[in-house]
Structures are given as C-alpha cells and as structure tokens.
Structure 1
C-alpha cells in the first residue's frame, strides 16, 4: 500500500499554514511535506507536527525570491554563495524537523545564458550540497519540472536529471519523480519508475490536465498505484495537487483508488 503525504503548500490552503498539520492528520494522512518552512520557526513547525502525529517527510532548499517568480537558484552562476547559505539553513531546519530528504529546485535558465555554465554550476552546487547533507543522514533530491507550468525551468526531463546525477557522482543524490510533471513532459510513467526505481527517493502526484486530484484527468492512477506496489517502491508519495474544490471534499480518491 503506498504511503501518501499531504503537501501542505497545496492542500488545506484555506487554512493558515500551521493549522494544516492537524487538518491533514484528521483526514488520515500520516505524513506531510511542503515547499518551504522558512517563514516560521523550526521548533514551532516541529511542535505542530508532533501534536498532530504526522511525520514531515520532505521540504525544499531555499529557492530564491519565490514571490518574485524565482523557482530555484541552483543553476545560476551568480548565486552560488546564496545557494550555499541556503544549504546550511535547510540543514538547520531539517535537523529540528526530523526531515531526511531535501529537494533542490534547479531554477529557470536566464535568456541567453551559456548552457555549459548553467550545467557546471548546477553540478558543482549539487556536489557541495550532497556532501554537506550526508553527515546528517539527509538525502539530496532533484526534481525535473515541466516547462509548460514553469517556462524556462532548467531541469525538465528524467534523462537530463540522471545525466547530471551521474556527473555529480554522489551516492547521496536521488531523483524526485513527479508523476504530473513527467506526464506533461515525456510520459512513459510506469516504465520509467520501474527502470529508475533504485535512484528514485520520492514520488509526487497530481492528475493532468489541471493538476487536480487523482481521478480527475487522464492518468490511470489505479494502475499506477498497483504498479508502484508491484515494483517494490517503499517511499512516500507526496500529494502535490490543486484541489478542485476543497481538500476534504476531494479526498474520495484515497479510498476509491
């Protein structure tokens, strides 16, 4: 049976962030994830999760100015010092929160940027981050994201991510495979998950089109959940979708599928 974690950035967003832990627990979720914890103290977030009885399974490294449209800085040559500061901050939070996986968003490639410089910067930053996280028992993840939703996003295909992981050469770097993003970009969901199972540390889901809950679009989640079980995936699946109405009203898929 897959283990589902509520993405608290996307779900229960009618509630203040710190109230979403309890709401997720009441819906039956045992795990939660979110994009960023940095607007709140780590101890406060930890206490909310403990009170709700949920495990925090994932959050992201700092990703630049999100409100201004930035979606990561890891590939940007001029932001290396800021990236490294963010790694230290993320480790501090993860240690308090008991988080053992941190996702690194690559960022958007600036128009006219040298592709070789972007890749070299990304590789060097990942090598640094993976080495910094390892002594704390924290795995580093990278996530390909479709360029329909985020035009210009640097890391956008599975093969590209695997090639970069090979170049980094760290045994502490893994793939975060988002079913929604990869359906939009390349398809071949079941075959890719099976082939790359050893390199996938975390899955995320949403249906397509619309990025809504499973069962609202074209992805055969009944088949995929059975397939994920059959191939032996034992990690978490983050529910990173936009509820069509409210989170609670849209949770029928959990029992239906």
Structure 2
C-alpha cells in the first residue's frame, strides 16, 4: 500500500530504497492461478530487490470489484484450493511464513451456517498446507460496514473462528485501522488475546494514514505488544501521503526503537 502508484514488481525496489528490509504483499494478481511466468517475475523482482517477503495474502477474489476473500464461498472452492498450492510454492521459494486468508462477505448468497462450514473447511486446508513449510495462517477482522457481510469484525470474532478451525498454526491479525474503526480497544484486545497474535498491521484511524495522522494511541499499542512479548513483524499498511516514513520512524511511533 505504501507504493500503490507503482507496478507491483517495482514496489520491492521502492521499499528497499526507503530503508525496508522486509515487505508484505496482498495477492499480486487478479486470478487465483497466475502463470508460471508471472510467478517467476514476482519472485525474481523480490529477490533482485534484496528485501524479504514476510507476509502474503491468499487470493481473495476480485478485490477491485469489492470481494474480500473467498473462504466462505463454495462456488470458488476449487479455485481457492488450487491457490493454496500456489501460495505454498511461493513460500518455498521466498521464505514467507505468514499467510493472510480473508473470510469473505457472502457473495454466493448462501446461509450464514453454510458460509461458516465452507470457511472453516478452507481455513483448515490452508493451515495444514502452511504447516508443511512451518507457516501460520492469520485471520483478519475488517472494517464495518465498508466490507459488506464480512462477519469477522473483532479479535473476539477471529478467535472464535480460530478455535472452531482447530489447527495449531492459525492465529489472529491485529490491524489497528480496521479494529479501531469497529470500536475495539486495541491495546486491551491485544492483551486479551496475548497467546494468539500472529501478525500486526498499523494504520491510523480515521483516514488510514501513517501513525500520527489520526486518533489512535500508538504508544499504548506498542506498550501492549511489548507486554505480550510480541516478536513478529509489524506491517505498514497505510496510505502514504508525501514522504514515506522510515522503519525507524515507524518503530519510534510504537516506542519500540529504544
């Protein structure tokens, strides 16, 4: 998101020039099953830039058209299952070990019960595949009502789903923008789910800008993350206006630079 004005392969070099050694990426293609040549270009661009891929989304449907995941969609089942193998193939080539699987917003028109059954089964398949490379699948709450009938709005929701899935390598994604938009006390939620925070993304609210442009207390969030001894990565998933903040500046916003 920091380099959204550039073609995806060029964003890695831009991240490196801005001082980042690690990056994360949404699914880079509109399709679940890109060609081998497209995957090769992605992996080569990543390797040539010198940065490491730390988190990658599974295919989430047509994001530009409003899709927010396909885990709950029986009509997309075969495409998603094929996508799992492709994601794990990329993981083997890049060392990526964190994989974000968006739930979905009910595009098939199925009942809530049917959607849940399909989603749980898909999360289990994704988690078992991720385990083959030592990876973790994370569940992300999204902002209401912008994302339709997306049922995971809080870390409590995500943790209920995690428990139902029942795989040991399924964890929670803390996105400060989405959670704050849904009225969640983010530091308290981090503390309440201390054992299952698998990834963190930061953006301020309102506006989804860099820390300091909205109302979120990032010092409190940094304190909460230190309080649970979080050792994972923090993704800068915000819309940058003007200059790109350095990793050190972002760390300072969370008081982790000291």
TM tier relative to shorter chain:
0.7 to 0.9
Kept in 2, the 8 Å contact 1:75–1:107? The answer is: yes
Q: Deviations over 1:30-86 (max 9, x none)?
A: 210110134673333333333333211111111122233222110112222222111
Deviation at 1:112, TM superposition (A): 5.6
Match of 2:239 in 1: 242
Describe the SS at the equivalent of 2:216: coil
TM-score normalised by L of structure 1? 0.87
| Count of paired positions | 247
The residue number in structure 2 matching 1:4 is none
Query: With structure 2 as the length reference, what TM-score do the two structures score?
Result: 0.87
Distance 1:96 1:252 in 2: 28
Partner of 1:225: 222
CA 1:184–1:52: 2 relative to 1, 3 Å: same
* 1:42 has 2:78 as partner: no
Q: State the Cα deviation string for residues 104-129 of structure 1 (Å, max 9, x = none).
A: 01111248631111111111111111
Unaligned runs of 5+ in 2: 254-258
Tell me which residue corresponds to 1:130. Answer: 127
Summarize deviations over 1:78-111 as a string: whole Å, max 9, x none: 2222221111121122222221111101111248
Distance in 2 separating the partners of 1:103 and 1:196: 18
- Structure 1 unaligned runs (5+)? 1-9
**RMSD of the alignment, in Å?**
2.2
For residues 138-153 of structure 1, the aligned pairs below 5 Å read: 138-153=135-150
Distance 1:249 1:29 in 2: 10
Tell me which of the two structures has the higher relative contact order, counting C-alpha pairs closer than 8 angstroms and 6 or more residues apart. Answer: 1
1:113 to 110, 114, 120: 110
Distance 1:81 1:194, change over 3 A: same
SS in 2 for 1:56: strand
Query: Kindly tell me: are residues 247 and 58 of structure 1, through their superposed partners in 2, closer, same or farther at Cα, counting changes over 3 Å?
Result: farther
Runs of 4+ residues deviating >4 angstroms: 249-253
